[in-house]
Amino acid sequence: MQTFRNGEIIMNKIKLLPVMAYRGVKQNKQLYRPYLMTCFFSVFSYYLFSSLLHNDLMERLPKAAYAWMMLSIGKGLLSIILLLFLLYSGSFLQKRRKRELGLYSLLGLERKHIGIMLFWENAGMYLVSVFAGIVLGFVLNKLMFLLLLRMSRLDVEVAFYFSIEAVMETLRYFALVFVCIYIKSLWGFYRLKPTELMSESKKGEKEVKHIWLWAVIGMFTLVCGYAISVTSKLDSMIFTDFFLAVFLVILGTYFLFTSGSVAFLSILKARKSIYYRPANQVTISGMLYRMKKNAAGLSNICIFSTMLLITLTCTVTLWMGMDQIAYYDYPYDLLADYSEHSDVIEKAKEKAEELSLKYGQSIQRLDYYNTMKLTCGRMQGSNAFISAADVPFADQYGVTLLTLDDYNRLEGQELSLEEGEVLLYSTGMPFEFESVNFMGAAAAVKEEPARIYPYPQAKNRIFNFTSQYVMVVKDEEALNRFSRAWGEVNGVTDFDDFLHRGVRHLGIILDGKEAERKDFIEEWSVWCQGQQEFLQIENGMEGRDKDCAMNGGLLFIGLVFGILFFMCLLLIMYFKQVSEGYEDQNSFEIMRKVGMSDGEIRRTIHRQILLVFFLPLAGAFLHTSAGLVMVNGLLAALRFFDTGLLIRCCVSVAAAVALLYAGSYLLTAKTYYRIVKR
């Protein structure tokens, strides 16, 4: 009979555990509500990426392959960020629940039963989150796909699409995430005794020991990260430098917030002339207490604010500069290449006039010119071009030889050159020498032209990685002299064959409706390829569309990640306000007992909270300012060179983020004041 009663009691306990889990969430709705909202958005974001990647249109459209590649990379990064952030958020919840769990243990509930209760709690959160997130994604799927196509400039009719593969993938991923959260919560519960659980919720973050050592290390790593960012160059190491700089800045931020801030406040406290003033004493003491207990969370706010600023700056800048990028790579609507002695020019003019009437297009440019393209090396600070084999890859440049007649025709000029004179044009850094030594052949540089179409010049002219030079020579004889000098240095033996490797380019730019423009280019392309001595053709309109498709994928990822980082930032701020509210309840009571009025207490706490919460924003602005040089280089790798536009976009984004941050602070501060007044 006794065994039966024990079994009945155990069964009743087990049946009661799901109810207790539900009540625990309901009673702590102030904590769980924003957490659930974040889970909804996380599921929605992951399902959205999966659904877009499984959409049949992404596989059928050739130009969408670039957007598909960007989405695949974005999904991989998203899965890592969501796992880490949801684990971090879950730790806040469990910290506030430890007192409650400790009380359950003291009242006789066994640990295994509490483990089962936590299982039901996490299972319920998982089911609610994935259901709401997938339903939201299901409803908004077509809208988000249209947004992606709009950003990628892909004109496609979109039907409603539902992917069971995306649903299953989302269910599996978030099952793994919530299992990790559950294991982490069990570990946090089982490693402590019930009495320790009762006091654990009141503890802040662990105070760092050896603060002066870590403060110095933090300053050193931060300065190193800034130095890498500011001195980085657009070369093959740009992406390695970027990740190294990010790592050092994050490390430095953590150390400075957890140790550097405490060390600085300790110095102020030791200065009697500063500390022993009524307002300063309370503020410095309160700040010191807060930074010791909550500095690690503030470093996370600073890091997420920086990520939000950088992501939105890159997204807005790419959106504003997309046409600039596309036309930098493809200045002509169509460019056809022939051997240099082809007689295609007159025929091409007649055919272009015929097609312009047929398709209602006006011809903005119809350019033809001969070039000899050579690869050379150049040592920095020297006027000499040498063999590319003698220098590293970063110091290798393309040099195009162009006759003066072709230059004058391209630019509508009537310049003249004396024997031994050249014009030297650079798309990157200016040459800035009065003479040039080209493989041993010397010439005087008459001037550096401001532009030569179709070789666009980077506006800021500080990036050499994509630079090329155009050397305008007097005539064919001078062109052959420089070509022969290059051939001798590079071991060319058959000079007659080598000197006939020049290329005749035929490029066209149209002005008219896009559909008819594409028809014109398609028909003219077929005609060009049918001519004698044809070499190759480049469809600039298709190339620009591919650039826009790839950059549109980046824009879409940037938009989603920007919203995600803001949600993470908002949630961390909310949890910090809640945590500090519970910690400050006793402080409010003590201040009242020593004679401070409610107004004085409110002003003191308000000043401390403002300093604490806006310090990360100041740090984020500083990080972004230092990182802007590297961002400029990374965008230059995408052929965006307008530094002025980047700075304007950054300032606008910073102002918008500051307003959002202030609004988020005011919103979460209401929760703080409600808690401390209880």
**Same domain, yes or no, for 442 and 505?**
yes
**Same domain, yes or no, for 116 and 254?**
no
Q: Tell me whether residue 525 is in a domain.
A: no
Cα angle 572-574-578, degrees, rounded to a multiple of 5: 115
Can you list the positions of beta strands (E) in 379-420? 384-387, 396-403
**Same domain, yes or no, for 375 and 507?**
yes
pLDDT digits (tens, 9 = 90+) for 465-513: 557 899 999 998 899 899 888 988 888 877 666 666 788 899 999 988 8
Pairing mode, if any, of strands 384-387 and 435-438?
Answer: parallel
Among residues 336, 466, 480, 303, the alpha carbon closest in space to that of 398 is found at 466
Q: Tell me whether residue 26 is in a domain.
A: yes
Which residue has better confidence, 267 or 539?
A: 539
Binned at pLDDT 50, 70 and 90, residue 530 comes out as: confident
**Same domain, yes or no, for 507 and 577?**
no
**Same domain, yes or no, for 590 and 617?**
yes
Long-range CB pairs of 190-199, under 8 A, 24+ apart, other chains included: 190/111, 190/115, 192/98, 192/102, 194/102, 194/105, 194/106, 195/102, 195/106, 196/102, 197/98, 197/99, 197/101, 197/102, 197/105, 198/98, 198/99, 198/102, 198/103, 198/106, 199/99
Residue 7 has pLDDT above 50, yes or no: no
Residues facing 442 on adjacent strands: 437
Binned at pLDDT 50, 70 and 90, residue 215 comes out as: confident
Among candidate residues 458, 488, 511, the one where a domain is terminated: 511
**Same domain, yes or no, for 218 and 198?**
no
Per-residue pLDDT averaged across 446-458, rounded?
A: 87
**Same domain, yes or no, for 249 and 327?**
yes
**Same domain, yes or no, for 262 and 377?**
no
Cα angle 257-259-262, degrees, rounded to a multiple of 5: 90
- Return the SS3 of 505: strand
How many whole angstroms separate alpha carbon 541 and alpha carbon 370?
23
What's the one-letter identity of residue 333?
D
Q: Tell me whether residue 220 is in a domain.
A: yes
Q: Tell me whether residue 355 is in a domain.
A: no
Among residues 364, 403, 413, 424, the alpha carbon closest in space to that of 504 is found at 403
pLDDT for the residue 209: 62
> CA dist 455 to 98, 99, 503, Å?
66, 69, 16
Q: Tell me whether residue 597 is in a domain.
A: yes
Q: Tell me whether residue 563 is in a domain.
A: no
Per-residue pLDDT averaged across 611-629, rounded?
A: 83
- Asked, as a colleague might, if the bond just before 454 is cis with ω within 30 of 0, I would say yes
Q: Tell me whether residue 566 is in a domain.
A: no
Q: Tell me whether residue 527 is in a domain.
A: no
Among candidate residues 187, 203, 219, the one where a domain is terminated: 203
> Which residues are CB-contacts of 636 (< 8 A; sequence separation ≥ 6)?
234, 458, 463, 465, 466
Per-residue pLDDT averaged across 213-217, rounded?
A: 79
Domain that includes residue 326, residue range: 209-331+572-678
**Same domain, yes or no, for 40 and 68?**
yes
**Same domain, yes or no, for 427 and 495?**
yes
pLDDT digits (tens, 9 = 90+) for 346-372: 888 889 899 999 998 899 999 999 998
pLDDT for the residue 5: 47
The pair of structure tokens assigned to 4 is: 């039966």
DSSP per residue, 292-361: HHHHHHHHHHHHHHHHHHHHHHHHHHHHHTHHHHHHHH--SSEEEEEETT--HHHHHHHHHHHHHHHHT-
**Same domain, yes or no, for 189 and 274?**
no
Quote the mean pLDDT of the chain: 77
Binned at pLDDT 50, 70 and 90, residue 668 comes out as: confident
Question: Are 28 and 96 spatial neighbours (Cβ–Cβ below 8 Å)?
Answer: yes
CB atoms within 10 A of CB 231: 11
Among candidate residues 154, 178, 203, the one where a domain is terminated: 203
How many whole angstroms separate alpha carbon 587 and alpha carbon 433?
71
How many domains does one find in the chain?
Answer: 3
Binned at pLDDT 50, 70 and 90, residue 1 comes out as: very low
How many whole angstroms separate alpha carbon 420 and alpha carbon 72?
55
**Same domain, yes or no, for 385 and 309?**
no
